[in-house]
Amino acid sequence: MVKTRSVIYCRECRMHWIVDHEPARCIDSGHAHELFEVHLHHSRVLLPDGTAVTAVSYDDLDPYDRGRQPDYGLYLDRKWEPPWPHEYLDWPDFGVPDSSVHAISTLKAMLKRAQDGESVEIGCLGGHGRTGTALACAAVLTGCPPDKAVDWVRSHYCPQAIETLAQEMFVLELLA
């Protein structure tokens, strides 16, 4: 079971806040407020060849709270600035990387660390679009057929993984 956090969003103000942790950013009773249950991932994912990585969401309240710190983190968003060794793979929100060649080499280097015994985590912000797409790519690089990788990540990680058609196409065409 993935942990969740309740978030309220005001569409008119385009503001969100965390229930019970932050003051309401909009108190206009004329505005429609929507309640969301947002996933807080800290999910161990076993890739097709047995390599383990931990997929994480960025928790605004305490992003670096861990029982045990990872040896290495690969982050798809520069908001991450953890105290442990880490690198970035630039990946626009709701988008795909400019270069699949660079993405492949970065993901392969991450997988090599995990295969060598390091505890490795990967994350963006929400943990679904970019992280989900990167995990699907990692699944392809560890033996999953590209046309099965989107389903693979949704069943082995989270049903909400991968958010756009362009992200699905990126996985499908990763090795093309």
The footprint of Zn ion (CB under 5 A) covers 10, 12-13, 26, 28, 31, 39, 158, 160
Nearer to Zn ion, 13 or 166 (CB): 13
Torsion, Cα 9 7 78 147, to 10 degrees, reads: -90
CB 52 to Zn ion: min, Å: 18
Contact (CB, 8 A) for 111 and 51 = yes
Own/partner contacts of 44-49, CB < 8 Å, gap of 24 or more, are 45/135, 45/156, 45/157, 46/156, 47/111, 47/138, 47/139, 47/142, 47/143, 47/144, 48/139, 48/142, 48/143, 48/144, 48/152, 49/142, 49/143
CB 94 to Zn ion: min, Å: 16
Nearer to Zn ion, 34 or 49 (CB): 34
CB 57 to Zn ion: min, Å: 8
Nearer to Zn ion, 45 or 47 (CB): 45
Nearer to Zn ion, 90 or 163 (CB): 163
CB 2 to Zn ion: min, Å: 5
- For Zn ion, the nearest residue by Cβ is 26
